[in-house]
Amino acid sequence: MIILIDGQEVKASSGETILSAARRAGIHIPTLCYHENFAGQGQGRCRLCLVEVEYQGVKRIVTSCTYPITAQIKVRTSSLRIEQMRKNIVMLLYKQAPASSLLQSMYCEYGCQENLLQDNPGEKCILCNLCVLACEEMGSSAISLIMRGTDKKVATPYDEAAQTCLGCAACAAICPTQAIEVMERDGVRIIWNKEFKLLNCKHCGQPFATEEQINFVDSKGNYSDMLHYCQNCRQKMAARRIKDFR
Amino acid sequence: MMQNKHNDGRQVLVCCGTGCLASGSKQVFEAFKSQLESVEGVEALVSTKATGCNGWCEQGPLVKILPDDITYCLVKPGDVSTIIQKTILEHEIVEKLLYRDPLSKKRIKSHHELNFYRKQKKVALRNIGEIDPASISDYMEREGYQALNKAFSMLPRDIINEVIKSGLRGRGGGGFPTGLKWMNCFEQEASRRYIICNGDEGDPGAFMDRSIMEGDPHTIIEGMLICALAVGASAGYIYVRDEYSLAVENLARAIQDARDRSLLGRNIMGRDFAFDIEIVRGGGAFVCGEETALIASIEGNVGEPRDKYYFPSEKGLWGCPTVINNVETWANIPVIIGQGAEQFASVGTENSKGTKVFSLVGKVVNTGLVEVPMGTTLREVIFEIGGGILRGRKFKAVQTGGPSGGCIPAELLDLELDFDSLAAAGSMMGSGGLIVMDERTCMVEVARYYLNFLAGESCGKCVPCREGIRHMLEILSRICEGKGRSGDLELLENLAETVQEVSLCGLGKTAPNPVLSTLRYFREEYLAHIEDHLCPAGICRDLTRFSIDPIKCTGCGLCKKSCPADCIIGESKAVHSIDSTKCIKCGSCVDSCRFDAVVINQEVGK
Amino acid sequence: MAEDAIHAEGEIRTIIQAYPPEKRFILAVMQDIQKTYNYLPRQALLSIADYTGEPFSRVYSIATFYKAFSLIPKGRYNIKVCDGTACHIKNSSVLIDQIYSSLAIRPGETTPDGMFSLETVNCLGACAIAPVMMVNETVHPKVSSSGILEIIKGYREGADDAE
């Protein structure tokens, strides 16, 4: 079906989210807890992706990452009200995680004003849950969101080194606010209270992945030798093979 | 085992609802059972039943004798032999156990004569206090399962239309037209549908669902069966709050009894219809009262809600069309189908049909469960049924709708209790909690209390609820501690708007209501806290000082006796005084003084 | 504590296996374990993960989300002071202060000797007899600020909680 987003005609399939349709059409809607790796699982946690939906004369403000298109709606990605709400969300997020440079710049970008609300000094996590989803995707599920309300946080069970943690740091990579600490030194990586020995690339000798990570991927299928090379070298080798093939 | 001849026998009904149980009614019940057994000739004629809550918890343990229609109050185990001797055997009334009207000083023989009961109309609560919830026969003797029988002779669409015609709206707080919900579920194309009973009654101060689940479990089962027949579902779940262990027990027994009589399971009533119910115990999370969070919980996840852009009747439990209704809603269904929609809709207001069960609690004389037609005014409920304010104090406000609702002040006492009127006044019906407050309740503290409750219950998924409530709570706590700043109220109102507009679920969306409604009607109280650093009600400890007025004090010493902190000094018949360095601000002295001599935040002469 | 958990492993397994190995029964299993041991031992959570095939982190997430569960044992006498609205406006917070002055514990804490633990609950559904306090399964109605000290003294002196 055809819907309108900011006056533009966009083709959408029934049940598809507004955000998905908008992205395809190149229309920008700000997000924080959304990632294209989990396109089908819009979370609705950060509420930043608010849009106005009009249908049969009724207007509603909804989160575009979870709202399914089931009729020919008219969508506006911005309005005075939406901007006001987004500004407040950013303000609340900044107060929650003032140490995040992303939120610091968003604070200015959205024109948030100084206020005396309390903040959490040193905090960077905005509880977007993307790290948990990434870890699930990897097959480890070493971390999860625990507790509830303002006690909610991302953690391993009992805050201990998780048995299933591979040290792959996919969580840290996907985190929009760099809230996950990864320490690397002398061929050792420490993440989520667990120490990992880093393997060196067979070609360039740089440490690139943990032993556990490589073993895990290895166990999933026949990946041959390629596993023991870092991303850069693997790309170069693949490129060379293609060149040789020609 | 005692014989049970209901027709010519008498019945001793001992109330075993939570309130009476807490006052020792179980011992009263056991005393009746054992003592009646040993009286010759009587055992064949008298049956003793433990019933659910009669709603009049102030006067419990309650014992009713039928068919004499006698109601005995505050019964102790020691009174049982007297009752058996005088009332059962000699057919005489034990005067001292009757309720004594505080105004007329007359003894009242039956609860039916009391305003507390006379003005009520029991529909959802029709069986509670009259039957033994553990007996399916009791239920069936009062037209139990006859509505289901009738439903079998109706077409599914006709059953649903009957519910639509009745005008029944959800009794859990949402007030959504029940029939429309059923129709929506029915019209989905699906091979599987589910029925859910939301028994996760979480509003503090509300216990109507508890009473129904404990006192009349079969009405819920019958309601769900009728719906399952109508929309085409084969499995149902009753989600019961973790803390309600007696409800779980009684529901489980009722379900088993129903199965034994082919009322659940396969070939129900000998027809080609199968339906069964499973009980799911909640885990102690108020948010699980929200439909989508409840569904998530049943599925084995944490109770995080989802955006409700699809209704559960379209995509609910495991993605299937699901009808989820509140306990009290289910309790009305057998009545609607049994008596017909027209009869049901003849009671109530234009847009709110039928009756509503309210839990009338707080600073009111008669506390308990009250079922009245929609449209009854607050004044009638609080003053005529409730008997007015305790200790003759002044009515200040009544909080309706729990943490999602708001406070209604004295000038609105003639407000009709129905969905739309309450919403227009800035509150809501909610599950039916009516918390009556007097001049010794601080409205700012009430707002803080509700936000504190919600802060602990927020699932934490979305930003506006999790963070917005936290900030609002911080501001209110500061105000209650005397650290309010100018600009605080504007900040509160600004945050409230975001939390209302942007929160993912009902918990967040309605969280600002108590703050907004108290700001609307009691703004001066907020200002007293912020600008004058005083709590007019004498509740906020840092802003309260109790002192004794030497002119009014008679030296009776009652305050001194009641003080748990030993901070009142004074000789008998001499003026007493309070040592404010030791005072814990509990207010027991204010409550105990009969001369209004204990004053709040006033300068008193020596 | 760790020894108790190991001893009970067989017992824990019996409780868990009473249910089908599906995610949706995790809540019920945890209820039963909480009731039996007064808390959820770590071993139990691992066994649940193992039995249902759910990740340990997800089981832990469920255990910490729901307030019915505790990861640390509760006291022999678990005091629940109701802070529902009706009880609150009848000064339940004074009762909480009184408990502190008598036992030196705040909500969520347990006395060092393991005798008493305190929690506030949202509403016990007994609003007509506010303020309400439960000690284990016993309901105490209309508790006054001086009466509460007597009640605690009674339990301290070894009063039977099933009167």
State which residue of chain C sits closest to B454, comparing Cα positions: C122
Of B531, B559, B591, the one marking the end of a domain is: B531
Q: Which sequence spans correspond to the domains of chain A?
A: 2-78, 130-245
Q: Which residues contact B1 (CB under 8 A, 6 or more apart)?
A: none
Contact call for A146 and C64, based on CB within 8 A: yes
Contact call for C57 and A163, based on CB within 8 A: no
Enter the tokens of residue B12. 């001793």
pLDDT band at B136 (very low <50, low <70, confident <90, very high): very high
The CA distance from B517 to B512, in Å, is 9
Give the count of beta carbons closer than 10 Å to the beta carbon of residue B153: 7
Say whether pLDDT at B245 is over 90. no
pLDDT tens track for B175-228 = 999 999 999 999 999 999 999 999 999 888 888 999 999 999 999 999 999 999
- Nearest by CB to residue B309, choosing from A67, A127, A145, is A67
Task: Report residue A13 CA to chain centroid gap.
Answer: 24
pLDDT (0 to 100) of residue A94: 97
Q: Are residues B174 and B84 in the same domain?
A: no
Whole domain around residue B83: which residue ranges? 10-113
Average pLDDT value for chain C: 86
Q: Tell me the HSE value of B252 on the side-chain side, using a 13 A CA sphere.
A: 10
Q: Are residues B313 and B447 in the same domain?
A: no
B308 touches chain A (CB under 8 A): no
Report, as an integer, the average pLDDT of B556-585: 90
Q: Which sequence spans correspond to the domains of chain C?
A: 2-65, 77-156
Residue located via tokens 């262990």: B245
Report, as an integer, the average pLDDT of A219-228: 76
Whether the CB-CB separation of A66 and A45 falls below 8 Å is answered with no
How far lies B55's CA from each of B353, C143, C162, in Å? Answer: 22, 20, 25
Helices (H) and strands (E) in chain A, counts: 7, 11
Whether the CB-CB separation of C121 and C81 falls below 8 Å is answered with yes
pLDDT (0 to 100) of residue B42: 61
pLDDT tens track for B552-563 = 999 999 999 888
The CA distance from B79 to B61, in Å, is 11
- Nearest by CB to residue B463, choosing from A47, A116, A145, is A47
Of the residues A146, A160, A163, the best mutation for testing chain C's interface (the one with the most C CB atoms within 10 Å of its CB) is A146
**C-chain residues near A143 (CB < 8 A):** 57
Our count of domains for chain B comes to 5
Q: Are residues B281 and B413 in the same domain?
A: no
pLDDT tens track for A69-111 = 999 999 999 999 999 999 999 999 999 999 999 999 999 999 9
Report the relative pairing of strands B322-326 and B406-409 from DSSP bridges: unpaired
| A-B Cβ pairs (cutoff 8 Å, strict) | 93
Report the relative pairing of strands B355-362 and B433-438 from DSSP bridges: parallel
Residue located via tokens 């907020």: B526
Contact call for B498 and A61, based on CB within 8 A: no
pLDDT tens track for B478-537 = 999 999 999 999 999 999 999 999 999 999 999 999 999 999 999 999 999 999 999 999
- Nearest by CB to residue C68, choosing from B284, B367, B435, is B284
pLDDT band at C4 (very low <50, low <70, confident <90, very high): low
Say whether pLDDT at C20 is over 80. yes
Report, as an integer, the average pLDDT of C97-101: 89
ipTM for the whole complex: 0.92
Contacting chains of C (3 CB pairs or more, <8 Å) are A, B
pLDDT (0 to 100) of residue B293: 97
pLDDT band at B252 (very low <50, low <70, confident <90, very high): very high
**B-chain residues near A152 (CB < 8 A):** 459-460, 466
Q: Tell me the HSE value of A213 on the side-chain side, using a 13 A CA sphere.
A: 22
Q: Which of B368, B389, B381 is nearest to B417 (CA)?
A: B381
pLDDT tens track for C102-141 = 899 999 888 988 889 999 887 776 776 778 888 887 888 8
pLDDT tens track for B34-67 = 988 887 666 567 889 999 988 888 788 999 999 9
State which residue of chain A sits closest to B503, comparing Cα positions: A47
CATH class of this structure's domain C77-156: alpha beta
Helices (H) and strands (E) in chain C, counts: 8, 4
Domain A2-78 falls in which CATH fold? Ubiquitin-like (UB roll) (3.10.20)
String of b and e for B316-355 (b: at least 16 CB within 10 Å)?
bbeebbbbbbbbbbbbbbbbbbbbebeebbebbbeebbbb
pLDDT (0 to 100) of residue C163: 39
**Helix axes A80-96 and A101-109, enclosed angle (nearest 10):** 150
Q: Tell me the HSE value of C124 on the side-chain side, using a 13 A CA sphere.
A: 33
Of B82, B113, B144, the one marking the end of a domain is: B113
The CA distance from C90 to B591, in Å, is 11
pLDDT (0 to 100) of residue A108: 95
Would you say residue B174 lies in a domain? yes
Would you say residue B537 lies in a domain? no
Contact call for A89 and B502, based on CB within 8 A: yes
Q: Are residues B417 and B509 in the same domain?
A: no
Enter the tokens of residue C66. 């729901």
Would you tell me which residues 9-48 of chain A have a C-beta closer than 8 angstroms to some C-beta of chain B?
Answer: 44-47
pLDDT (0 to 100) of residue B163: 98
CATH number for position B466: 1.20.1440.230
pLDDT (0 to 100) of residue B474: 97
Whether the CB-CB separation of C56 and C92 falls below 8 Å is answered with no
Q: Are residues B189 and B305 in the same domain?
A: yes
Q: Which residues contact A196 (CB under 8 A, 6 or more apart)?
A: A166, A167, A188, A189, A190, A210, A211, A212, A213
pLDDT band at B14 (very low <50, low <70, confident <90, very high): very high
Enter the tokens of residue A107. 């604070």
Q: Which of A120, A54, A115, A109 is nearest to A86 (CA)?
A: A109
Of B113, B128, B161, the one marking the end of a domain is: B113
C60 touches chain A (CB under 8 A): yes
Q: With the CA atoms of B435, B437, B440 and B444 taken in that order, what torsion angle do they form, in degrees rounded to the nearest 10?
A: 80
Residue located via tokens 């490129």: A239
- Percent of chain B past pLDDT 70, that is, above it, reads 98
Q: What is the 3-state secondary structure (H, E, C) of B331-359?
A: HHHHHHHHHCHHHHHCCECCCCECEEEEE
Say whether pLDDT at C5 is over 80. no
Enter the tokens of residue B261. 């009589």
Q: Are residues B425 and B290 in the same domain?
A: no
The CA distance from B31 to B288, in Å, is 40
**B-chain residues near C125 (CB < 8 A):** 18, 201, 206-207, 210, 243-244
Q: Are residues B563 and B525 in the same domain?
A: no
Q: Which uninterrupted H or E stretch holds B11?
A: strand B10-15
In DSSP terms, A51 is beta-bridged to A62
CATH number for position B85: 3.40.30.10
A97 touches chain B (CB under 8 A): no
A86 touches chain B (CB under 8 A): no
The CA distance from B346 to B166, in Å, is 9
The CA distance from A127 to A96, in Å, is 10
> What SS3 class is residue B8?
coil
Q: Which residues contact A104 (CB under 8 A, 6 or more apart)?
A: A94, A98
The CA distance from B177 to B174, in Å, is 9
Average pLDDT value for chain B: 93
- ∠ CA B293-C84-B54, nearest 5°, is 95
Would you say residue B177 lies in a domain? yes
pLDDT tens track for B319-368 = 999 999 999 999 999 999 999 999 999 999 999 999 999 999 899 988 88
pLDDT (0 to 100) of residue C128: 67
Whether the CB-CB separation of B444 and B452 falls below 8 Å is answered with no
pLDDT band at B18 (very low <50, low <70, confident <90, very high): confident
The CA distance from B491 to B472, in Å, is 8
pLDDT (0 to 100) of residue B41: 65
Would you say residue B228 lies in a domain? yes
Q: Are residues B222 and B366 in the same domain?
A: no
Residue located via tokens 């031992």: C41
Q: Are residues B87 and B218 in the same domain?
A: no
Closest chain C C-alpha to B75 CA, distance in angstroms = 16
Report, as an integer, the average pLDDT of B419-445: 94
Of residues A35 and C163, more confidence is placed in A35
Maximum distance among all alpha carbons in chain C? Answer: 52
- ∠ CA B485-B487-B491, nearest 5°, is 115
Report, as an integer, the average pLDDT of B446-454: 95
Say whether pLDDT at A15 is over 70. yes
